[in-house]
Amino acid sequence: MREHASAQLNRQGNEHFSRGHYTEAYECYAKALACDRKTGDQRALVATLGNLANICAVSGRREAAQQHYEEVLELQKLLGDERGIGTTLANLGNLRADGSEYERARAYYLEALDILKRTHDETAMSVLFSDLGFVARETGQYDEAMTHYEQSLALMKRLGNEGGMADAWRMMARTHLMQQRYDDAVACCQTSQAIAERMCDELRTGGARYVMAGCFEQLGRLREAADLLELVVEMDRKYNLPKLQENIGRLEALKVRVAEGARA
């Protein structure tokens, strides 16, 4: 009965989580954890603690998330769940990357990669290579970042994951942009946008346009940059995205520069 209650509470928590109702989700997971502690069901504990760690991570409670993930890791080692261990190590890496602790993140990612290679988990590896690319890019190791993004892209293609392909092209574009290689960045953005548009994925399309607007701004193609950013702001409004006000301000500044250029 208690095991059933735990599973039910986790399902309810997942529903709240998917809607962004984090407080309600946390309450469900905490109740499920109390059930699992009483029954001593290790597999149920892994699922519940993983959910608790995820909810702590997205709500900025990184140290609590770390503790939950570490307990999950110990249980997975006892259970001999190699694939699960790889996933949890990657989650620990994400947690450190979110806190800009890039060397700790890389260490977790590389440990996870060793395991995922042994288990031949190409789906998880395709994401992990992108994570490694992000850490390399943020620490100025641009060649290494591109290598990892290309590894991610190759796996995404083999798996038929078009969303992942669009993401990889966009991340490569950002890497080129940070190196002021604007033409290469624009080409990657255009590929990302084309894939996203084929999928009718508005958010990924907007992501590619956002990076491309930055490229055009740096190239002095201000009208094109403003036109793209106008579309990004429309999407921000539609989905109530957090960068709405920032992008409105950026768009207004661009429009002023375009007007000044027209008067010159």
Per-residue pLDDT of the chain (264 residues; tens, 9 = 90+): 444 789 999 999 999 999 889 999 999 999 999 999 999 999 999 999 999 999 999 988 999 999 999 999 999 999 999 999 999 999 999 999 999 999 999 999 999 999 999 999 999 999 999 999 999 999 999 999 999 999 999 999 999 999 999 999 999 999 999 999 999 999 999 999 999 999 999 999 999 999 999 999 999 999 999 999 999 999 999 999 999 999 999 999 999 999 987 776
- The CA distance from 70 to 49, in Å, is 10
Q: Are 124 and 159 in contact (CB under 8 A)?
A: no
Residues of the chain with CATH 1.25.40.10: 1-80, 82-160
Angle value at C-alpha 48, between 46 and 49, nearest 5 degrees: 65
> Rounded to 5 degrees, what are φ and ψ at 220?
85, 10
pLDDT at position 3 is 46
The one-letter amino acid code at 82 reads E
CATH class, range 82-160: mainly alpha
Number of residues that this document lists for the chain: 264
**Claim: this prediction has a pTM higher than 0.85:** yes
What SS3 state is found at 1? coil
CATH code of the domain occupying 1-80: 1.25.40.10
The residue with tokens 């429009």 is 255
pLDDT at position 5 is 87
Buried b (16+ CB within 10 A) or exposed e, 32-64: bbebbeeeebeebbbbbbbbbbbbbbeeebeee
pLDDT at position 68 is 97
CA distances from 24 to 8, 28, 107 (A): 14, 6, 33
**Residue among 128, 123, 127, 93 at smallest CA distance from 113:** 128
Structure tokens, 140: 């100025």
pLDDT at position 1 is 40
pLDDT at position 2 is 43
The residue with tokens 């409670």 is 61
- The CA distance from 197 to 36, in Å, is 45
